[in-house]
Chains A and B, each alone.
Chain A
Amino acid sequence: MSNTNSTGRDAGTGLKATNRSMDRVQASLRRRYRAEKRFRAYGLISVVVGILFLFVLMASILAKGYPAFRQTFVTLDVYLDSAVIDPEGSRDPAVLRLADYKRLIRNSLQEIFPDASGRSERRKLVALISNGAPFQIQGLVMDEPSLVGQTLTLEFPASADLDMLMKGHIDRSLPEAERRLSDAQIGWVDKLVEQGRVHKRWNKALLSNGDSRDPEMAGIWGAVKGSFYMLVVTLVLSFPIGVAAAVYLEEFAPRNRWTDLIEININNLAAVPSIVFGLLGLAVFLNFFGMPRSAPLVGGLVLTVMTLPTVIISSRAALTSVPPSIREAALGMGASKMQATFHHVVPLAVPGMLTGTIIGMARALGESAPLLMIGMVAFIVDVPQGFTDPATALPVQIYLWADAPERAFVERTSAAILVLLAFLIAMNSLAIFLRRRFERRW
Chain B
Amino acid sequence: MDDVNIGGYQFMEATTMSRDRETRSEQGTQALSRNSAASLFGSERGSDVPDNTVGVITHDDPIFACRSVDVFYADKQAIFGVDLDIGRNQVISMIGPSGCGKSTFLRCLNRMNDTIDIARVTGRIELDGQDILDSKIDVVPLRARVGMVFQKPNPFPKSIYENVAYGPRIHGLARDRVELDEIVQTSLERAGLLKEVKDRMDQPGTGLSGGQQQRLCIARAIAVSPEVILMDEPCSALDPIATARIEDLIDELKENYTICIVTHSMQQAARVSQRTAYFHLGYLVEVDETDKIFTNPSHKLTEDYITGRFG
A residues within 8 Å of B by Cβ? 255, 323, 325-336, 339, 343-344, 348, 441-442
Encode contact with A along B146-158: 1 for CB under 8 Å, 0 otherwise. Answer: 0110101011111
Contact of B110 among A332, A335, A336 (CB under 8 A): A332
> Assuming A331-B115, A332-B110, A334-B224, what are 11 further A-B pairs, CB within 8 angstroms?
A255-B117, A326-B154, A326-B157, A329-B220, A331-B112, A332-B150, A334-B143, A334-B147, A343-B166, A442-B157, A442-B207
Assembly CA distance A348 to B157 (angstroms) = 8
User: Which residue of chain B has the shortest Cβ distance to A329 in the bound complex?
Assistant: B154
Encode contact with A along B123-144: 1 for CB under 8 Å, 0 otherwise. Answer: 0000000000000000111111
Q: Indicate if B170 sits at the interface (CB-CB under 8 A).
A: yes
User: Which residue of chain A has the shortest Cβ distance to B204 in the bound complex?
Assistant: A442
> Is A333 a contact partner of B157 (Cβ separation < 8 A)?
no
Can you spell out 10 A-B residue pairs with CB atoms less than 8 angstroms apart? A329-B150, A329-B217, A332-B147, A332-B150, A332-B221, A334-B142, A334-B144, A334-B167, A334-B171, A348-B157
Assembly CA distance A344 to B162 (angstroms) = 12
Q: Indicate if B206 sits at the interface (CB-CB under 8 A).
A: yes
User: Which residue of chain B has the shortest Cβ distance to A441 in the bound complex?
Assistant: B157
Smallest CB–CB gap between B224 and chain A, Å? 7
| Main SS at interface, chain B | helix
| Main SS at interface, chain A | helix
Q: Give chain A residues whose Cβ lies under 8 Å from the Cβ of B170.
A: 333-335, 339, 343
Asked, given contacts A334-B170, A334-B171, A339-B170, whether A329 binds B143 with beta carbons under 8 Å apart, the answer is no
Smallest CB–CB gap between B261 and chain A, Å? 15
> Is B140 a contact partner of A326 (Cβ separation < 8 A)?
no
Asked, given contacts A442-B204, A442-B206, whether A332 binds B143 with beta carbons under 8 Å apart, the answer is yes
Smallest CB–CB gap between A344 and chain B, Å? 6
User: Which residue of chain A has the shortest Cβ distance to B141 in the bound complex?
Assistant: A334
| Count of A-B residue pairs with CB < 8 Å | 66
Assembly CA distance A344 to B141 (angstroms) = 19
> Is B112 a contact partner of A332 (Cβ separation < 8 A)?
yes
Contact of A326 among B139, B147, B156, B224 (CB under 8 A): B156
> Is A333 a contact partner of B224 (Cβ separation < 8 A)?
yes
User: Which residue of chain A has the shortest Cβ distance to B167 in the bound complex?
Assistant: A333
Smallest CB–CB gap between B24 and chain A, Å? 34
Most buried by B among A255, A328, A348: A328
Near A by CB (< 8 A), chain B positions 157-176 give 157-158, 166-167, 170-171
Q: Give chain A residues whose Cβ lies under 8 Å from the Cβ of B112.
A: 328, 331-332
Contact of B156 among A255, A331, A334, A344 (CB under 8 A): A344
Most buried by A among B112, B140, B142: B140
Q: Give chain B residues whose Cβ lies under 8 Å from the Cβ of A331.
A: 112, 115, 143
User: Which residue of chain A has the shortest Cβ distance to B162 in the bound complex?
Assistant: A343
Assembly CA distance A326 to B205 (angstroms) = 13
Smallest CB–CB gap between B107 and chain A, Å? 9
Q: Give chain A residues whose Cβ lies under 8 Å from the Cβ of B147.
A: 332-334
User: Which residue of chain A has the shortest Cβ distance to B206 in the bound complex?
Assistant: A442
Assembly CA distance A151 to B196 (angstroms) = 84
Smallest CB–CB gap between A327 and chain B, Å? 7
Q: Give chain A residues whose Cβ lies under 8 Å from the Cβ of B150.
A: 325, 328-329, 332
> Is A333 a contact partner of B141 (Cβ separation < 8 A)?
no
Q: Give chain B residues whose Cβ lies under 8 Å from the Cβ of A441.
A: 157
Q: Give chain A residues whose Cβ lies under 8 Å from the Cβ of B154.
A: 323, 325-326, 328-329
Q: Give chain B residues whose Cβ lies under 8 Å from the Cβ of A343.
A: 166, 170
Assembly CA distance A339 to B139 (angstroms) = 13
Assembly CA distance A46 to B120 (angstroms) = 52
Q: Give chain A residues whose Cβ lies under 8 Å from the Cβ of B143.
A: 331-334
Q: Give chain A residues whose Cβ lies under 8 Å from the Cβ of B141.
A: 334
A-B residue pairs, 7 tightest by C-beta: A334-B143, A334-B144, A325-B154, A332-B148, A329-B154, A442-B204, A442-B157
Assembly CA distance A344 to B220 (angstroms) = 15
Assembly CA distance A348 to B158 (angstroms) = 10
Q: Give chain B residues whose Cβ lies under 8 Å from the Cβ of A336.
A: 140
> Is B156 a contact partner of A330 (Cβ separation < 8 A)?
yes
Smallest CB–CB gap between A1 and chain B, Å? 31
> Is B115 a contact partner of A327 (Cβ separation < 8 A)?
yes
> Is A333 a contact partner of B221 (Cβ separation < 8 A)?
yes
Smallest CB–CB gap between B226 and chain A, Å? 9
> Is B140 a contact partner of A334 (Cβ separation < 8 A)?
yes
User: Which residue of chain B has the shortest Cβ distance to A323 in the bound complex?
Assistant: B154
User: Which residue of chain A has the shortest Cβ distance to B145 in the bound complex?
Assistant: A334
Assembly CA distance A332 to B156 (angstroms) = 12
Smallest CB–CB gap between B66 and chain A, Å? 19
User: Which residue of chain A has the shortest Cβ distance to B230 in the bound complex?
Assistant: A332
> Is A328 a contact partner of B115 (Cβ separation < 8 A)?
yes
Q: Give chain A residues whose Cβ lies under 8 Å from the Cβ of B217.
A: 329
Assembly CA distance A335 to B170 (angstroms) = 7
Assembly CA distance A333 to B224 (angstroms) = 8
Smallest CB–CB gap between A199 and chain B, Å? 60
